[in-house]
Amino acid sequence: MDLRGDCAAGQPSASAKGDVMKTRIWLCALLCVTCAVTLAWAIGVDIPPGQKVDNPAVSISGKARAPIWPAGLSDLANSRLSVHGYDINGGIYLFYAGDTSAFNEFVKRYASVSGMTHEVVLYVGPKNARSPWDKADRNIGVNWGFLVPDVMTIVDLAPLPTHIDLWLGGDIDLAKFATPKSVSVRSGGDIEKLVADHAKAAK
Give the ranges where the chain is alpha helix by DSSP (H).
Answer: 14-40, 73-77, 100-112, 190-202
Q: Do 52 and 35 belong to one domain? A: no
pLDDT digits (tens, 9 = 90+) for 149-175: 876 655 556 788 899 999 998 899 888
Q: For residue 76, what pLDDT is reported?
A: 94
**Proportion of the chain in helix, strand, coil states, percent, rounded to 5:** 30, 25, 45
Asked if 80 and 106 touch (Cβ cutoff 8 Å), the reply is: no
**Rounded CA gap, 77 and 80, in Å?**
9
Q: Tell me whether residue 3 is in a domain.
A: no
Same domain membership, residue 142 and residue 179: yes
DSSP-derived letter for residue 145 is E
Q: Which domain holds residue 67?
A: 46-202
Q: Is residue 1 part of a domain?
A: no
Same domain assignment for residues 116 and 135: yes
User: Do the domain assignments include residue 119?
Assistant: yes
- The reply to whether 59 and 155 lie within a common domain is yes
Same domain, yes or no: 123 and 63? yes
Question: How many structural domains does the chain have?
Answer: 2
Do residue 154 and residue 77 come from a single domain? Answer: yes
Q: Are 81 and 115 in the same domain?
A: yes
Q: For the chain, which ranges sit under pLDDT 70?
A: 1-42, 56-67, 151-157
User: Could you read off the pLDDT of 131-151 as tens digits, one per residue?
Assistant: 999 999 999 999 999 998 876
Q: What is the mean pLDDT of the chain?
A: 79
Residue type, 64: A
Asked if residue 127 and residue 29 are part of one domain, the reply reads: no
> Is 6 domain-assigned?
no
Q: 99 and 192: one domain?
A: yes
pLDDT at 180: 94
